[in-house]
């Protein structure tokens, strides 16, 4: 699986599908973010609308991607996580780390 990426001006939107778990989706997310950074883009919006499940490995990779983007002087934001993923962010207090949006237009303008 390769995560499709769309470009809106300076913002790269990554549409992550399915599960983000150890060995299933985490590598694809890491590679998509790294590819965007390698192209010189520093504004990344991860669309989690189609993510059905995320485990601790997926969450760890999400945090690692965020760290990598920030280290490169960029910004990474989250779009449309489902309630289970949002609950996971809340329980782990990562909701304080990520800017989370329900509306794609608002997310794009926020950059």
Predicted confidence (pLDDT) per residue in 15-53, tens digit: 998 899 888 888 899 999 999 999 999 999 999 999 999
Looking at residue 1, its pLDDT comes to 57
> What DSSP line would sit under 37-105, residue for residue?
HHTT--EEEEEEEEEEEE-HHHHHHHHHHHHHHHHTT-EEEEE---HHHHHHHHHTTGGGTS-EES-HH
What is the percentage of the chain residues whose pLDDT exceeds 70? 99
Which structural domain range is residue 36 located in? 5-109
> Can you give the pTM of this predicted structure?
0.93
Size of the chain, expressed as the number of residues it contains: 111
**Domain tally, the chain:** 1
Pairing of strands 11-20, 43-54: parallel
- Report the CATH number that the domain containing residue 64 is assigned in CATH: 3.30.750.24
């Amino acid at each position: 699986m390769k995560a499709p990426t769309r470009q809106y001006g300076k913002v790269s939107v990554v549409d992550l599908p399915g599960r983000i778990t150890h060995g299933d989706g985490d590598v694809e997310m890491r590679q998509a973010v790294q590819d965007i950074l390698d192209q010189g883009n520093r504004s990344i919006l991860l669309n989690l609308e189609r993510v059905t499940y995320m485990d601790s490995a997926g969450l760890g990779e999400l945090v690692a991607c965020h760290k990598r983007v920030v280290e490169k002087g960029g910004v990474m934001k989250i779009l449309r996580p489902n309630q289970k993923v949002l609950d996971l962010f809340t329980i782990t207090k990562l909701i304080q780390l990520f800017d989370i949006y329900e509306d794609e237009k608002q997310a794009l303008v926020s950059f």
